[in-house]
Amino acid sequence: MAVDLSPEPAVADLARRTARFVREVVLPVEERHGAATPTEAVRRELQDAARTAGLFAPHVGTGYGGHGLDMRGRAAVFEEAGYALFGPLALNIAAPDEGNMHLLEAVASEQQKERYLRPLAAGEVRSCFAMTEPAPGAGSDPRALTTRAERIDGGWRINGRKWFITGADGAAFTICMARTSGRPGDPGDATMFFVDADNPGLKQVRHIDTLDESLFGGHIELLFEDCEVPDDAVLGAVDEGFRHAQVRLGPARMTHCMRWLGIARHAQDIAVRRAAERELFGSRLGELGMVQQMIADSEIDIAAARGLILQACWELDQGRSASQATSIGKTFCAEAVWRVVDRSLQICGALGVSGDIPLGRFLREVRPFRIYDGPSETHRWAIARRTLKRHSAAGGR
C-alpha cells in the first residue's frame, strides 16, 4: 500500500501562503524589533496582517473563524509559521493560547466556548494554563499537585502557588489545575477551573527570568489566595482534570515540536547560505568535509523529526492516546532542534555568536524545550516503562 505523506492540496496551499507571509511580513517586523520580547502593539500588527491574509487561527473550527485543521494539517502550517520566532504569535497559534483553544473546543460547555473560546480564537484576548508548581509541587510528576480547591456555597475556593505559567502577564483568564480529591502524591484527581484576571484572589508574584524571551506574556509565578470562583467556572467535570488535560498535553507537545522545527530549518538555511558563500583556506566553507557532515546531520535530524511528528499526529487524528508516539516525538525533536541550531552556529563561527544574525537567540530560545512539556529524562522513563509493560503483556515474547 502506497504511503503519501504530502498534505492535502488545501493544506499545502495554506502552508505555502504561510511561508510567504512569514518571510515577507513577519521576519521584517522581527528584525526591526530586534531581540526584545514582542509588545502588544507588535502582536496586534502581526495578527491584523495574518487575518487580512486569511491565515489566522488555522487550527480552530470554522465556526470560530479558523480553518479547522487536523493535527497532520497543523504540522505543515505550524512548521512554516515557526520559521520566525514571531510567526506563531502572528497566526494566533503560539503557546499557551493554541493549546487552550484545542482544549476548550473539546471540553468546554457551549456557554464557556462563547465566553472564553470565541474571543481567544479571534485574538481579542490571551490566556494561560496554570498547572506547574514550585517544588515540592507538580512539575514532571502531576500527582504531586498541591494547589487545592475546596467547595464553598455556590462555588469553590482555590489556594496554591504556580510558576512558569507562560503568557500569564496580560492574560484575560487562567485555566487553573487544582486538586479536588486525594493528597499530593496520591492517585487522587484534580479539576480545571476558569479564573478571570480580575479575580481578587489571583495575584502575580513575579516574572521569572529565563533563557527564552519570545513567548508572549513571559513565564510568571502566580499565587491563588482564597481565590473564589462559581460552580460554572469548572471546565469539564469535577475530579476529571487530569483526564481532560490529556486532551491538551499530547497535541500541545506536538505543536511545540512543529513550531521549533521551523526554527531549526531557519537555522539550517542560515548555515547553508554561509557555507556556500564563505571562502577560507582556498575553498568555500561548504567544500570542507567536516562542514558537509554537519549540514548532512542537520538534514537528517530535520527529516527524522518531521517523520516522528507526522506519526504522532496520525495517531492523534485517529483518536488514539498516542502517549508513546508523542513522548518519542517530543524527546527527539527537542534534542534534534538543539543540535541543528548548535551546528548552524558552529558553521557560522564568530558570526554565529554575534548579534548580526539570530542564531545566538535561537539557541537560547530552543534550549528550554528539553525541559518544558516534560524533561527528556521523564519522557525516556515513560517510554521505557510502556515498552516493558508491553513486553510483559505479550508474555515476554
Instruction: Please identify, among 166, 200, 235, the residue that sits at the C-terminal boundary of a domain.
Output: 235
Considering the domain architecture, whether residues 173 and 86 belong to the same structural domain is answered as no
Considering the domain architecture, whether residues 40 and 154 belong to the same structural domain is answered as no
N residues, the chain: 397
Assigned domain for 285 exists: yes
Task: Note the pLDDT of residue 34.
Answer: 75
Q: What is the CATH number of the domain that holds 353?
A: 1.20.140.10
Task: Note the pLDDT of residue 140.
Answer: 87
Q: Distances from the Cα of 84 to the Cαs of 20, 25, 93, 266, in angstroms? A: 11, 10, 13, 8
Assigned domain for 371 exists: yes
Task: Note the pLDDT of residue 240.
Answer: 94
Pairing of the two strands 202-207 and 148-152 = unpaired
Task: Note the pLDDT of residue 213.
Answer: 86
Tell me how many domains the chain contains. 3
Instruction: Please identify, among 121, 137, 158, the residue that sits at the C-terminal boundary of a domain.
Output: 121
Assigned domain for 359 exists: yes
∠ CA 214-100-180 to the nearest 5 degrees?
Answer: 120
Nearest in space to 380 (alpha carbons), one of 329, 312, 311, 344: 329
Do residues 172 and 154 make contact, with C-beta atoms less than 8 angstroms apart? no
Task: Note the pLDDT of residue 38.
Answer: 86
Considering the domain architecture, whether residues 155 and 88 belong to the same structural domain is answered as no
Burial of residue 301 (number of CB atoms within 10 Å: 0-12, 13-18, 19+): buried
0.85 surpassed by pTM: yes
Considering the domain architecture, whether residues 258 and 136 belong to the same structural domain is answered as no
Considering the domain architecture, whether residues 249 and 303 belong to the same structural domain is answered as yes
Domain range for residue 138? 127-235
Considering the domain architecture, whether residues 184 and 87 belong to the same structural domain is answered as no
Considering the domain architecture, whether residues 176 and 301 belong to the same structural domain is answered as no
Assigned domain for 24 exists: yes
Considering the domain architecture, whether residues 171 and 223 belong to the same structural domain is answered as yes
Task: Note the pLDDT of residue 374.
Answer: 92
Place of cell 508574584: 205
Task: Note the pLDDT of residue 35.
Answer: 64
Instruction: Please identify, among 235, 253, 280, the residue that sits at the C-terminal boundary of a domain.
Output: 235
CA atoms within 13 A on the CB side of 329: 29
Assigned domain for 215 exists: yes
Considering the domain architecture, whether residues 246 and 379 belong to the same structural domain is answered as yes
Assigned domain for 193 exists: yes
Do residues 175 and 128 make contact, with C-beta atoms less than 8 angstroms apart? yes
Pairing of the two strands 155-166 and 219-230 = antiparallel
Task: Note the pLDDT of residue 108.
Answer: 98
Considering the domain architecture, whether residues 51 and 139 belong to the same structural domain is answered as no
Task: Note the pLDDT of residue 308.
Answer: 98
Task: From first to last of the 397 residues of the chain, give the pLDDT tens digit.
Answer: 556 778 899 999 999 999 999 999 999 999 988 766 889 999 999 999 999 999 999 999 999 999 999 999 999 999 999 999 999 999 999 999 999 999 999 999 999 999 999 999 999 999 999 999 999 999 888 889 999 999 999 999 999 999 999 999 999 999 999 999 988 877 668 999 999 999 999 999 999 999 998 888 999 999 999 999 999 999 999 999 999 999 999 999 999 999 999 999 999 999 999 999 999 888 999 999 999 999 999 999 999 999 999 999 999 999 999 999 999 999 999 999 999 999 999 999 999 999 999 999 999 999 999 999 999 999 999 999 999 999 998 876 6
Q: Name residue 187's amino acid.
A: P
Nearest in space to 218 (alpha carbons), one of 228, 227, 208, 226: 208
Residues in a beta bridge with 222: 162, 204
Task: Note the pLDDT of residue 183.
Answer: 82
Assigned domain for 386 exists: yes
Whole-number Å distance between alpha carbons of 334 and 218: 20
Do residues 174 and 222 make contact, with C-beta atoms less than 8 angstroms apart? yes
Considering the domain architecture, whether residues 265 and 365 belong to the same structural domain is answered as yes
Do residues 25 and 49 make contact, with C-beta atoms less than 8 angstroms apart? yes
Q: What is the CATH number of the domain that holds 72?
A: 1.10.540.10
Considering the domain architecture, whether residues 156 and 267 belong to the same structural domain is answered as no
Assigned domain for 146 exists: yes
Q: What is the CATH number of the domain that holds 218?
A: 2.40.110.10
Please give the grid coordinates belonging to residue 77.
502550517
